Amino acid sequence: MRPAAALLVLLLASPALAGPFDTPPERYDETVNVALQQIGSDLRIRQTACAATRCRFAAREVIVEVSGPADRPAIERITIAATFRQGDDRTATNLLDDTLTVVGATMVTYDPGMAAERRGEVLLELGEAALSVGEAHLDSADVHYALSFDDVSGRLEIIAATLRAGHG
Helix (H) or strand (E) holding 80: strand 77-83
Compute the residue count for the chain.
168
Write the pLDDT tens digit of every residue in 105-153: 999 999 988 888 888 888 888 878 777 788 889 998 889 999 998 888 8
Tens-place pLDDT, residues 52-107: 899 999 999 999 999 999 888 899 999 999 998 877 788 888 888 898 899 989 99
* Cα 138 to chain centroid, rounded: 14
DSSP 110-139: H-TTS-HHHHHHHHHHHHHHHHHHSEEEEE
pLDDT of residue 31: 93
Q: According to the model, what pLDDT value does residue 90 have?
A: 84
Q: What pLDDT shows up at residue 167?
A: 45
pTM of the model: 0.83
